[in-house]
Amino acid sequence: MEATSVSETHERILDAAERLFTEFGYEGTSTRMVTSEAKVNLAAVNYHFGSKEALMEAVLRRRLVIVNEERMRALDEAEAKANGQPLKPSQIVDGFFGTLLRMAEDDSKGGQTFQRLIGRTMTEPANFIRTFLAAEYADVVERYKTALFKALPDVPKAEIVWRFHFMLGATSYAIAGTDALQLVTDWEVDEDEGTQHEKLLSRLMSFLLGGLRAPLPQFSEPS
């Protein structure tokens, strides 16, 4: 063993893979690109992680565990303060999406890179990724769905779930930072990174809450 608890090679690979999976996607990144960027031997990926798939899962898990724990903690705290009363939708939405967006300011939690990776990964076609994500998110999604049901007792559950789905899409695309249509051409370069994040969070939260609380479509029957 080394001085550090986990070998440095192990984390060098995770960091390189995180960056490359973010930029080129899972299929577009080769193990050789990863070991080359990490400056480690080609065989190191299979030695330390077993396979490329297992590496992808390790990359995602390292950060996701932290986000989802923080999401649980945020809901615990809010519900404790509310003692029994339903939460405000804004608290729930902030607990789920705000928690993720605030991670971008903390480089020790992956910073912007991991945030973009998560945004991208939500639409990765590979089956094992979707399976992994669904399992990794299952508990936290259930908690937040329940909280939303309680916060919006007059809204049919199916409608709430759909709007959760739409919020996920809007957020994923926003943090992926790709802007395929080059819509947002006037990026304010005159501001520092921190201000940008704050603004994105404010803008996104306004949008998500507006969507969540929008009048229901006419057809819908009660839950």
For DNA, the binding residues (CB under 7 A) are 1-3, 7-9, 29-33, 40-48, 51-53
Q: Does 91 bind its own copies (CB under 8 A)?
A: no
Interface with its own copies in residues 14-73 (CB under 8 A): 23-25, 27-28
Q: Which does 81 bind (CB under 5 to 8 A by kind): its own copies, DNA, none?
A: none
CA–CA dist 151, 124 (Å, integer):
32
Of 62, 109, 145, 197, the one binding its own copies (CB under 8 A) is 145
CA distances from 125 to 26, 49, 122 (A): 9, 22, 9
Largest separation between any pair of C-alpha atoms in the chain: 64
CB of 119 to DNA, least distance (A): 22
Three-state SS for 53?
A: helix
Q: Which does 45 bind (CB under 5 to 8 A by kind): its own copies, DNA, none?
A: DNA
CB of 148 to its own copies, least distance (A): 11
Q: Are 126 and 26 in contact (CB under 8 A)?
A: yes
69 CB neighbour count, 10 Å cutoff = 12
Residue closer to DNA, measured from CB, 7 or 196: 7
Residue closer to its own copies, measured from CB, 28 or 43: 28
Q: Are 140 and 72 in contact (CB under 8 A)?
A: yes
